[in-house]
Amino acid sequence: MPIQQNEKYDLPKAYEFTEIERRWYERWLSDKSFSAQMGEGKPSFSIVIPPPNVTGVLHIGHALNNTLQDVLVRYHRMKGDNTLWVPGTDHAGIATQNVVERQLAGEKLSRHDLGREKFIERVWAWKEEKGGTIINQLKRLGASCDWDRERFTMDDGLSRAVREVFVRLFKEGLIYKGDYIVNWCPRCHTALADDEVEHDPTDGKLYHIRYPYADGSGYVVVATTRPETMLGDTAVAVHPEDERYQHLKAIGIRLPLTGRTVPVVFDHHVQREFGTGALKVTPAHDRDDYEIGLRHDLPRLKVIDDQGVMNEAAGVYAGLDRFDCRRKVVADLDAQGLIDKIEEYQHAVGKCYRCATVVEPTTSKQWFVSVKPLAAKAVAAVEEGRIKLYPNTWYRTFYAWMENIRDWCISRQIWWGHRIPAWTCEACRRLIVEVNAPDVCPDCGSTRLQQETDVLDTWFSSALWPFSTLGWPEQTRELAVFYPTSVLITSFDILFFWVARMMMMGLHVMGEVPFHDVYLHALVRDKYGKKMSKSTGNVIDPLVMIEQYGTDAFRFTLTAFAAQGREIRMDEERIDGYRRFINKLWNAARFAQMHLKEVDPAITVAVRKTEGLSLAHRWILSRLNTTIAEVRAALDNYNFNDVASISYQFVWHEFCDWYLEWIKADLFSEEMSRRNQAQAVLLTVMEQVLKLLHPVIPFVTEEIWSQLPGRRGSIMHASFPETRAAWADTEAETTMNLLMGVISGLRTIRTEAEVHPSAKIEALLICPDTGRRAILEQYTEGMQGMVRAASLKIVASGTVPDDAGHGLVQDVELVVPLKGMIDVAGELEKLTREQDKLQKELDRVIGKLSNAKFINHAPETVVAKEREKETEIRTRLAKTMESMERLSKLN
């Protein structure tokens, strides 16, 4: 739908982003500007948003992720593709349940007081009232999602898709229920998948414990970081070829503190060279021990319950918290002389990714997906190039993880989520797995059917996201047009949480990859490379940055920082710097508007070719042509930082600093043809620049676009710039590079010599090359005005006076006599005062940084600022002394 026309007005001096952003986003929404199009014969481009948790608020990672998606979506929309960006949120089972349970706790209630049905109603009510916060914040970011297609992982359509896939996988033998060792969170009271456990380096202790031989003839030392689990030991394992322990096969081990005798088993898993070569085996509380137990048919003795408390099997330690039990066990062992030694030991401790509670490996009856067959399809798709990873450094990690993948535990012992569609007949114990709830048991006809109480892992539903959001299992038009999706943009830390699982599910269920490209962006840290956290006070809040600097400046900064890698160091000062870039563009637009008010936009037709255009016009069109090619290539290859840097360089330095200054004389000329030519090229370049920048900075470009001559629809539906062979002009670029080099060189001489801005210099160019000399002579008048020269002479040879400023551009010598141009004595006096002031500041900072008390106790950010200040002062001091040295020579 075409956007409403905007009233023409003179662009104000200042860019008031708050009002403009609000006005344009409301208009885009009301005009359905983001709606997907499904025109026949057009290429399709689609993205599904990584669904943020319904409990979430916009943080810097979301801002980066969604800005990059929006850049691509706006780019492809302008290319004329059938474009769809699907928004939505994830029900976030554990996180959302925790939020509502905390509310209930404030009312002195628990979910069990309400019962399952009432509790679920309470969660839905919370979701309807407070669950849309992040969606509104994404809109504030300028996200151009098709909001009419917003999905939620618990809505009816997606819930049906979840049941369909679960039932299909179960009937194919790829989902099963069984006893297995799982990661258990005692705080959330649920099992966790392997990749939901975060392993943090933790300072702990390694306890070396003497396990006596059953006949009392000696002992073996075993080492453990969790002494409390010894209460559940059912064997000691040694390597089959370890001669030291062969005699123990007939003797066994007397387990300390318990009085039980356990066997010695011989297993190749044991490393003879590590420690004493003996390993305690606790099959119910350790994954590797579980596997040893299976191989040797060992009993699984569970001594820690689901709350992290020692149970009755722990004997006298029953009722103790597991960590209290650890201290008690160590004390008792020490009292019996069974502690050989205790070492400080740093090791990786698994913690729940939601609440950071130390997880407890434990045996439990759970539902699992047998993922090896599914993983093989995903690996093949990547190996064959049907799915590409950006940056390509992730391939090795992907293959290594997929080759060692374990079965996926998908059941969770919570209430909020997709309840597993499985029922057990209470009469005959038949397990029934169906999409819709059965009325009777197909075996015995009983109506006494009990549904499984567990819900599915949140990642199960989000693994279906690329096709469930498009209407599957219905064969919708959206599915036909937009699946497979084009690209997935997400953070690298959920490559296995989510990305790999979408690959597996898409390939198995749809028979096709879910996306062609995966762009894994880096994690955002502060400017010192530290993780952002509220406790350290280094968090950059996107909404605060938007309020302070405007959405466009914030988006441009995110894009500029988005280099392919593992870390982005964000600096608020850079946001302020890019705010100045937005203002620079705004001021350029005001200048252009002043000269284009009465211009017929059809005037740009004459610029399709460059014949008859003067040098500056041919040069800017050639540079624009190159910029368009480079930006398109950067967008097509997900080099977002290049998009920003290339655009910035062209707009600020070439278009604003050089071209607009060069053509001022043309725009003010009395000669109509000369003025019209400048207006035509200026309007052409302005249009192309705005379209080039629109995907990154949508608001300011839309506002300026609406004020250009003629009746215009929204810029987001204008065609994205394409290169034109007719604009490429190597000769114009070579000539302008020479002229710009000379002008810059003469300006540098003026600046370094501190010639007053209003003073006019006498300049001499010594150029032995005939061709270059002819060019310089042709454009003498233009250069003379741009360097404020009373005269500008060009000669084939000459000498450089001792009192002259001097420079070199290619083989052209730049000479500016300085005698009489500068008050040397006055400038030296001023610089001496500046030198003294800077030296005092430097001494103060050095004194502060030499103070051990300051270094050791001040926050790292404060110390870092002082170091930055030291560097800055030293730089200024060096430049001041250079200026004094130059002036002394003139004196």
Q: Please write the tens of the pLDDT for every residue from 343-371.
A: 998 888 889 877 889 999 988 888 999 99
| pLDDT tens-digit readout, 365-381 | 889 999 999 999 999 99
- Helices 572-596, 551-561: inter-axial angle, 10-degree rounding: 120
List the 485-491 sheet strands across, edge first.
388-390, 515-521, 485-491
- pLDDT in the model for residue 597: 87
| Closest C-alpha among 524, 530, 514 to residue 468 | 514
> What is the structure's pLDDT at 534?
66
Percent of the chain with pLDDT over 70: 97
At residue 377, what is the residue type?
K
Whether the pLDDT of residue 823 is over 80: the answer is no
Chain segment 606-646, per-residue pLDDT in tens: 888 888 899 999 999 999 999 999 999 999 999 999 999 99
The stretch 774-780 carries a mean pLDDT of 93
- Strands (E) in 405-506, as ranges, are 408-409, 411-412, 422-425, 431-433, 449-451, 455-456, 485-491
At 243, list the tokens: 């001669």
Given a cut of 70, whether residue 107 has pLDDT beyond it is yes
Over residues 8-22, the pLDDT tens digits come to 788 999 999 999 999
**Predicted confidence (pLDDT) per residue in 643-694, tens digit:** 999 999 999 999 999 999 999 999 999 999 999 999 999 999 999 999 999 9
pLDDT band at 799 (very low <50, low <70, confident <90, very high): confident
**Mean pLDDT across the stretch 838-866?**
87
* Crossing angle of helices 60-78 and 640-648, rounded to 10°: 70
Burial state string for 718-757 with b = 16 or more CB within 10 A and e = fewer than 16: bebbeeeeebbbeebbebbebbbbbbbbbeebbeebbbee
Residue 741 carries which DSSP code?
Answer: H
At residue 428, the pLDDT reads 95
| Banded model confidence at residue 887, pLDDT cuts 50, 70, 90 | low
Which tens digits make up the pLDDT trace of 252-269? 999 999 989 999 999 988
- pLDDT at residue 805, as a whole number: 80
H/E stretch holding 466 reads helix 465-468
Whether the per-residue pLDDT at 5 is higher than 60: the answer is: no
Mean pLDDT taken over the chain: 91
pLDDT digits (tens, 9 = 90+) for 562-607: 988 767 888 888 999 999 999 999 999 999 999 998 888 888 888 8
Would you say 131 and 54 are in contact if contact means Cβ atoms under 8 Å apart?
A: yes
DSSP 3-state assignment of 607?
A: helix
CA atoms of 142 and 698, how far apart (whole Å): 7
Residue 534 counted as an annotated binding residue: yes
Q: Cβ distance 740 to 810 under 8 Å?
A: no
Q: Is 46 helix (H, G, I), strand (E, B) or coil?
A: strand
Q: List pLDDT tens digits, range 168-225.
A: 999 999 999 988 888 899 988 888 877 678 888 888 999 999 999 999 999 999 999 9
pTM of the model: 0.82
User: Which range, of 126-140, 270-284, 529-543, averages the lowest pLDDT?
Assistant: 529-543
Average pLDDT for residues 381-402, to the nearest whole number?
94
Whose tokens are 């049906």? That residue is: 160
Band of pLDDT at residue 709, cut at 50, 70 and 90: very high
Higher pLDDT, 491 or 456: 456
